[in-house]
Amino acid sequence: MTEGWAWVQVDSWCTFVVGSLNGWRSLSACRGGDSGFGHDLAKHLDKLGFTVFAGVLDEKGSGAEELRRSCSKRLSVLQMDVTNPQQIKDAHSKVVEKVQDKGLWAVINNAGILGFPMDGELIPMADYKSCMAVNFFGAVQVTKTFLPLLRKSKGRLVNISSMGGVFPMQQLAAYSSSKAALTMFSSVMRQELSKWGVKVSVIQPGGFRTNIAGTSESWDQKEKAILDHLPPELQEDYGRDYILQQKNFLRGIGTFSTSDITPVIRDVEHAVSAKSPSAFYAPGKLTSLFLNIAFFFPTSFLDYFEKKQNIQRKDMPRALSTPK
């Protein structure tokens, strides 16, 4: 029997490490918070007998405390914000101290933020930078930091991307661009790391209900920030009413998503434990349809399909809805 280790992030911007005490398997994952993929995944792997190091955005937060309370002594909670290089280094040092020469079996990058859905022209540059900082650069930094341990064990790298990183969706220019970057980074790393025996998988979930959309209070704050700093020309062309109606997208997320994240947990488990994991996983309803349209249908059909998906929306920018 060998003992493996992995790193997992379970708070909004975090990572976690898991190790198997009863077999060759071990894995790591990132993000979670009080709810979400990372939080439930840490619990699931702990129940399977893995040794889990859960990195969290706030080690004193309710999500971290709940993990300590409900999981076994094998699970450790570590402070790690993926936008903070020093916290990543500190977490790495603690993991190395624990695993010593055993190596690390898997790293699962799961940190992600959505930002405020809005037409790409209206999204502040700060939101584009925030999405890239958490969804892409954070995953790259964690990957680079822990790769020597993965190469030693010939382990697994699992990155949680999104269907939005493959299929273009209106109002998600910042989020989808960062996830598309993560998907391409993962594909390149899959090829480069194959010579080391490390396998790389990308999880591209469809519509699952987590805490990534934020709260109504955070929506109001983002909305106000956009209105307060919007150039006069854009305010005139789009109109205040149009901007205020964009929150309907966030309200509708719950309608078209499911709270049962079992398919995601199952695919991550397969990616870290199967002898021959898949390069891509697409858990969720209609994900196969979206992927087929994105890759095999003409662009004109893809645009028509997306337009039909948004046909219920009656709001239009003021400059396009006002009779000339």
Average model confidence (pLDDT) across the chain: 82
Per-residue pLDDT of 269-281, as tens digits, reads 999 999 999 999 9
Whether pLDDT at 216 is above 50: yes
pTM above 0.75, yes or no: yes
- Residue in 128, 175, 238, 304 annotated catalytic: 175
3-state secondary structure the chain: CCCCCEEEECCCCCEEEEEECCCCCEEEECCCCCCCHHHHHHHHHHHCCEEEEEEECCCCCHHHHHHHHHCCCCCEEEECCCCCHHHHHHHHHHHHHHHHHHCCCEEEECCCCCCCCECCCCCCHHHHHHHHHHHHHHHHHHHHHHHHHHHHHCCEEEEECCHHHCCCCCCEHHHHHHHHHHHHHHHHHHHHHHHHCCEEEEECCCCECCHHHCCHHHHHHHHHHHHHHCCHHHHHHHCHHHHHCCHHHHHHHCCCCECCCHHHHHHHHHHHHCCCCCCEECCCCCHHHHHHHHHHCCHHHHHHHHHHHCCCCCCCCHHHHCCC
Task: State the average pLDDT over residues 172-178.
Answer: 95
Predicted local distance difference test score (pLDDT) of residue 256: 62
Predicted local distance difference test score (pLDDT) of residue 173: 95
Is domain 6-213+259-314 in CATH 3.40.50.720, yes or no?
yes
Per-residue pLDDT of 86-96, as tens digits, reads 999 999 999 99
Q: What are the residue ranges spanned by the domains of the chain?
A: 6-213+259-314
Q: Is 281 a catalytic residue?
A: no
Task: State the average pLDDT over residues 78-106.
Answer: 89
Is pLDDT larger for residue 158 or for residue 74? 158
Is pLDDT larger for residue 86 or for residue 305? 86
Task: State the average pLDDT over residues 199-206.
Answer: 93
